[in-house]
Amino acid sequence: MLPVDDIAKRIANLSPEKRALLELQLQKRKGLKEPIAIIGIGCRFPGASSPNSFWQLLKNGVDAITEVPPDRWDIQKFYDGDPTAPGKMYCRYGGFLGHVDQFDPEFFGIAPREATYIDPQQRLLLEVIWEALEDAGQVPSQISGSQTGVFVGISTNDYGQLLLQSPEVVDTYTNTGVASTMAANRISYLLNLKGPSLTVDTACSSSLVAIHLACQSIWNGESTLALAGGVNLMLTPVVTVGLSKLTALSPDGRCKAFDSRANGFVRGEGAGVIVVKPLSKALIDKDPIYAVIRGSAVNQDGRTNGLTAPSRDAQEAVLVSAYQQAGISPSDVQYVETHGTGTLLGDPIEAMALGNVLKRDRLWRGFADREAVLLEHINSLVQGKRILFLYMLAGSGFQRSSSV
């Protein structure tokens, strides 16, 4: 038997691909699932129309928060600093995308008349899906007819509300244009993809759950490739008015996560998609590999302090489950991305749950996070892409921690 040092030297001299294949063999011997490779990404975020421009925005510390633009709704009509004012909102700010009304239907083989009735969220998602496939080097004609799954997180239907305000404009294409299920199904139809096709709504976690389901589909053999992500657009004031009644929004347009000044979050728009496949297949096909997903977990609070109140016990349980699925000790985790809603209720609970799990058998190394506009369920994709870019930015405006 070779000495340990000699074995280590031989492993160190292996190519990255061979080291990864060796790791896969060790994973299987431990009874763990094969890691899932992220081979392509596409995105649209406030102030950033591509992954590269998103990186530049982060690197340069650009603030993409603005007042509500006039092409969404008249903020003067709906604004009132009093949270109890009927039909009003006390937050004037958000993270908005530009040109969401523009779309090239013929590129996707869609009739212009039909495109008029398709939710802009679905149209935007088609564009970002296409860009993610290009980034992954996946030719649409070559994956046509394959067991490729599509998993989409979407939790609002503002365009449907707008169209249905006037029943006389309802058309043959209205129902399919605004039905949330079509966000995933339309992609599968247009690209002729035969794997599972699901639209998921779990509120703020929709996109992350979509990625979880995509990985499960690959692990279960239902999909050989998967597209996962989500989209969110704010086209009417209704949801913002509702969140104002819950006093969930920050009146000054700043999400001060884990800060004693925390007073709510800021709504935002965006779309993000990742292309995933088994790591072994990605290595064989020489695909670009941004990162790997080793495990994931989903749970629910059950009957706790309230329908919308977070549960520390449930958060701890899902963290432990995810690390077990991945075969990773919490003590080995070196970087954490948080939900960070900027609320005095949610932030301390999240911090305590993370602390209780990650401190196990740990020599303290420190963690990092920074605040961001909350793009509702898209936030998980924003965070994922930040990790992929391996950025560490200062100057978040953090002053003093909230009590834990």
Tell me what pLDDT residue 390 has. Answer: 45
- Dig out the tokens for 40 from the structure: 């392509």
> Does residue 153 lie in a domain region?
yes
Q: Are the C-beta atoms of residues 395 and 61 closer than 8 Å to each other?
A: yes
CA-closest candidate to residue 386, choices 402, 363, 370, 364 = 370
What is the C-alpha radius of gyration for the chain, rounded to an integer number of angstroms?
22
Shared domain check, 221 and 119:
yes
Tell me what pLDDT residue 359 has. Answer: 87
Put simply, whether the predicted model's pTM sits higher than 0.85 gets the answer yes
Shared domain check, 10 and 71:
no
Shared domain check, 131 and 236:
yes
- Residue linked to tokens 């080995």: 332
- Dig out the tokens for 71 from the structure: 């092409």
**Could you tell me where the DSSP H helices lie in 220-311?**
238-245, 279-284
Q: Are the C-beta atoms of residues 152 and 125 closer than 8 Å to each other?
A: yes
CA pair distance 207, 217, nearest whole angstrom: 15
> Does residue 310 lie in a domain region?
no
Shared domain check, 199 and 115:
yes
Shared domain check, 138 and 45:
yes
Tell me what pLDDT residue 46 has. Answer: 95
> Does residue 65 lie in a domain region?
yes
Neighbours of 329 (CB within 10 A): 13
Shared domain check, 291 and 193:
yes
Shared domain check, 257 and 179:
yes
- Dig out the tokens for 331 from the structure: 């003590």
Shared domain check, 145 and 4:
no
CA-closest candidate to residue 245, choices 111, 89, 354 = 89
Shared domain check, 132 and 39:
yes
Relative to beta strand 36-44, strand 225-232 is unpaired
Q: Are the C-beta atoms of residues 155 and 210 closer than 8 Å to each other?
A: no
Provide the phi-psi class of 93: left if phi over 0, else alpha when psi is between -120 and 50, else beta: beta
> Does residue 322 lie in a domain region?
no
pLDDT along the chain (404 residues), means of 10: 56 67 71 91 95 91 94 96 96 96 96 96 97 97 97 94 86 93 97 98 94 97 97 96 95 90 94 96 94 94 88 94 92 87 88 90 51 53 54 51 58
Domain assignment of residue 38, given as a range: 33-296+370-388
Shared domain check, 120 and 188:
yes
Tell me what pLDDT residue 11 has. Answer: 59
Shared domain check, 131 and 21:
no
Angle between the N-to-C axes of helices 120-136 and 182-191, in degrees from 0 to 180, rounded to the nearest 10: 50
> Does residue 186 lie in a domain region?
yes
CATH assignment at residue 102:
3.40.47.10
CA pair distance 394, 67, nearest whole angstrom: 25
Shared domain check, 273 and 187:
yes
**Could you tell me where the DSSP H helices lie in 220-308?**
238-245, 279-284
Alpha carbon of residue 269 to chain centroid: 11
> Does residue 351 lie in a domain region?
no
- If one counts the domains in the chain, the total is 2
